Amino acid sequence: GKYRVVSTKPMPGTRWINLLIEQDCRVEICTQKKTILSVEDIIALIGDKCDGVIGQLTEDWGETLFAALSRAGGKAFSNMAVGYNNVDVNAANKYGIAVGNTPGVLTETTAELAASLSLAAARRIVEADEFMRAGLYDGWLPNLFVGNLLKGQTVGVIGAGRIGSAYARMMFLKANGEQPVTWKRASSMDEVLREADVISLHPVLDKTTYHLINKERLATMKKEAILVNCSRGPVIDEVALVEHLKQNPMFRVGLDVFEDEPYMKPGLSEMKNAIVVPHIASASKWTREGMATLAALNVLGKIKGYPIWGNPNQVEPFLNENAQPPA
Ligand code: GLV
Ligand code: GLV
């Protein structure tokens, strides 16, 4: 291969590897056991000659790494993720390195997890499962694991981009012959928080959305509301959330992401009214293979002189003015 492309992690499928090999690239995949690579680990991987890198959202792609990639002759970096809060795009641009992300292929998969967490939280499925496995079920009771009926309730979406809109469409599915659900653009986020029974968070993480859900905003939500987060952990002030869960046992959350990932803030793992899963929203086979393929195409395209495929600069702002009602 004429070009050297590095992937900081093994990725699903073989299509992405074949695409690169067919186009004159030598592919090097880091097989180091530790889950999260340090900046030093990645500098060693980049080495003296590297044309492009496929990296992961757990890595800190800032000035240091882009300088190292530039010294190695690198032209392209792609995150294997739609979110790119781990990437300093300005630093990359300074070194003439193009940055890609992987939008689109994970929209429905991520929205399906948000919908799953919404329903699982409403019906207390994880708590009930733990109860069964613990051998505690000794007969049907009228008040065993009573949860929320979602029919007729108000679903709120904060961040109506691709994923948020897909989530809304899923939650608004109705049986034939039923009254159509109504849809409206809220005049403010605070209106959504006050009025919705189920709220799913889908903003991009940036300075404007850090701790968007804080102590004060949690206090404005319904006591029995369900809050779902499949975006990025720091969108919620997790310490305030733990306190809110303690004070409001009927308030339930479904969390895919955490403020100090992979860690949870103290107390969260003990809360019965929280469902926690390890950042798996995009984890369907089709999607993960698609993300790997897009990431490879991003890097390959740039090496071959084409524009980048997934372009972070085209990511919707967090309240998308052009969001459409679900069809
Ligand atoms: C996953 O969190 C992604 O941003 O793709
Ligand atoms: C519950 O199982 C019922 O029959 O109502």
Contact 257, 279 (CB under 8 A): yes
Q: Which of 14-23, 173-182, 199-208 has the lowest mean pLDDT?
A: 173-182
Q: Which residue puts its alpha carbon closest to atom 1 of ligand 1? A: 81
**Tens-place pLDDT, residues 99-120:** 999 999 999 999 999 999 999 9
Q: Quick one: pLDDT at residue 177?
A: 64
> How far is CA 134 from each of CA 124, 129, 220, 271, rounded to the nearest angstrom?
16, 9, 36, 17
134: which 2 tokens?
A: 């613990």
Share of the chain above pLDDT 90, in %: 86
pTM, two decimals, is 0.92
> 3-state DSSP call for residue 144?
coil
Q: Which atom of ligand 1 is nearest to the CA of 101?
A: 5
Of residues 233 and 174, the one with the higher pLDDT is 233
Question: Which amino acid residue places its CA nearest to atom 5 of ligand 1?
Answer: 81
Report CA torsion sign: 94, 100, 103, 104. Answer: positive
Given a cut of 80, whether residue 202 has pLDDT beyond it is yes
Per-residue pLDDT reduced to its tens digit, 268-326: 999 999 999 999 999 999 999 999 999 999 999 999 987 665 565 443 333 334 444 44
Token duo for residue 184: 């409206």
With a 6 Å cutoff on the Cβ, whether 81 touches ligand 1 is: yes
Identify the active-site residue in 108, 191, 243, 261.
Answer: 261
- Cβ burial of 138 (10 Å; 0-12, 13-18, 19+) is exposed
Homologous superfamily of 3-105+283-314 = NAD(P)-binding Rossmann-like Domain (3.40.50.720)
Find the catalytic residue in 202, 217, 252, 279.
279
Which ligand number lies closest to the CA of residue 287? 1
Ligand closest to Cα of 103 equals 1
**279 is annotated as an active-site residue:** yes
Residue 185's pLDDT band (boundaries 50, 70, 90)?
A: confident
Ligand 1 contact, 82 CB (< 6 A): yes
Q: Please report which ligand is nearest the Cα atom of 140.
A: 2
Domain with CATH 3.40.50.720 in the chain: 3-105+283-314, 107-276
Find out whether the beta carbon of 83 lies less than 6 Å from any atom of ligand 1. yes
**Is the pLDDT at 66 greater than 50, yes or no?**
yes
Contact 309, 100 (CB under 8 A): yes
pLDDT band at 72 (very low <50, low <70, confident <90, very high): very high
Whether the CA torsion 93, 46, 280, 247 is positive or negative: it is negative
For 123-188, where are the alpha helices, taking DSSP H only? Answer: 125-133, 162-171
**Residue pLDDT, tens place only, 18-36:** 999 999 999 999 999 999 9
Q: Does 174 have pLDDT greater than 80?
A: no
Q: What pLDDT score was predicted for residue 129?
A: 98
The pLDDT value recorded for residue 179 is 66
Arithmetic mean of pLDDT over the chain: 92
Annotated catalytic residue 202: no
Task: Catalytic residue, from 232, 244, 252, 288: name it.
Answer: 232
pLDDT at 94 over 70: yes
- Per-residue pLDDT tens digits for 117-147: 999 999 999 999 999 999 999 999 999 999 9
For the question of residue 40 being annotated catalytic, the response is no
Please determine, for the modelled complex, whether the ipTM score is greater than 0.85. no
CATH number for the domain running over 107-276: 3.40.50.720
Element (H, E) at 21: helix 15-22
Q: Residue 264 has what pLDDT?
A: 98
